[in-house]
Amino acid sequence: MRGELHRPLGLDIGSEKPRRSPSAFVALVVAALLVGSSLATAFFGQPERRVVDMLAEPPATEPVAVVAAPQPVTTKPLPTIIRPPAEPAAGGVGFRVEEPVALRQPAGTAHLPDAALIEDSDFGPLPIRGPDGRRPFDVYAGASRGVPGTRIAIVVGGLGISQTGTMNAIRALPAPVTFGFSPAGNSLDRWMQEARRAGHELVLQVPLEPVGYPEIDPGPNTLTVADAAAGNFDALHATLASLTNYVGVMSYMGGRLTGETTAIEPLVAELGRRGLMFLDDASSLRSLASDTAALQRVPFAAADLTIDQTQDAATIRRQLDTLEQIARAEGSAVGVASAFDVSIATIADWIVQAQSRGIEIVPVSALANDPEGR
């Protein structure tokens, strides 16, 4: 009874059997583990240690990778553009994929005909599409900035007839002005090279049958309605062979031919086959050239007005101002003029002022409707 009464007070401590302390038991287990670890290290080497920075951000949880049998990887090949050397090996076929701007002849060689765009004929060198599809319209085109804005093209025709007038035009007019050469001119190859070196784009004026022909005669090698309808283009080819390095032809007179479906359709088809643009001088309201060119997918442009119907500087300037009004309303406009001294001087002065007003003067090819879209 005494032991039971004193046990809660801890007065009977010495009366029971001594028990092993838990701390001593834990110490024995730890010692055994240390001995085992030392033996394992002796046999198997030091295990790899891993240091964990407790202050660092916890690593992102990565998904458990499931290892499967390797599968073949299929990669869609990227298209490759192969550019062959400039001169393919003998017997090889030349093929090029180029940016549209790359089709234009470099400025340094703009006065030299591209041999691939020349067809030999009894009349002389005729323009033709190249084997690679390039057209004279692409290669001989003049340069323009190609940025949005009000644009005006001015075509000055009749070059080559007067030697002094032709030289005056080349010296006075800026490069974006398009030059129209007459097949009846002299030293055309010389003037072509001078104009191209100065950066000008060229068109060739082609005499077409007017109303009242032959009393009203455009000159030698006039293409008549009868010949065009019959597919006889000897007169046209004789004219085309008088010059090289031009983007297209510009009608000279031709009020009757351009209004006859049987004549204008084969003419436009022939120009399209040769990669040329048709520029209508808008001298005839009956002209079917625009619709015909659209149907046959041939580059086409038309004049909005004639700048110098009278040889008076004030009148020419008013016409140029009217051309600007048309361009601001429509976005662009085309004016045609002749290589008279007063016309050249007035146009040159007006262009400087127009450019200060934000007008861009461009070659006529830049304003042409080109169904091929190059």
CA pair distance 125, 189, nearest whole angstrom:
12
- The reported pLDDT for the residue numbered 147 is 80
**34 part of a folded domain:** no
Is 160 within the bounds of a domain?
yes
CA dihedral 83, 88, 94, 100 (to 10 degrees): 50
Strand pairing category for 151-159 and 360-361: parallel
As a whole-number percent, the residues of the chain with pLDDT over 70 amount to 73
3 belongs to a structural domain: no
The confidence score (pLDDT) of residue 214 equals 96
- Residues 152-205 have pLDDT tens digits of 999 999 999 999 999 999 999 999 999 999 999 999 999 999 999 999 999 999
Nearest to residue 141, comparing CAs of 301, 256, 29?
301
pLDDT tens per residue across span 307-322 = 999 999 999 999 999 9
pLDDT at residue 141 tops 60: yes
Residue 335, domain member (yes or no): yes
Residue 158 inside a domain? The answer is: yes
| Number of structural domains found in the chain | 1
Residue 343 binned pLDDT confidence (cut-offs 50, 70, 90): very high
Is 44 within a domain? no
Q: Is the pLDDT of residue 92 over 50?
A: no
Express each pLDDT in 49-91 by its tens digit: 343 343 344 444 444 443 344 444 333 333 333 333 444 433 4
Phi, psi at 324, each rounded to 5°: -65, -40
CA gap 118, 131 in Å, rounded: 11
Q: Give residue 209's domain range.
A: 116-367
pTM: 0.74
Q: HEC profile for 37-103?
A: HHHHHHHHCCCCCCCCCCCCCCCCCCCCCCCCCCCCCCCCCCCCCCCCCCCCCCCCCCCCCCCHHHH
Q: Does residue 232 belong to any structural domain of this protein?
A: yes
For residue 125, the domain's CATH number is: 3.20.20.370
In a domain, 99, yes or no: no
Say if residue 219's pLDDT is above 70.
Answer: yes
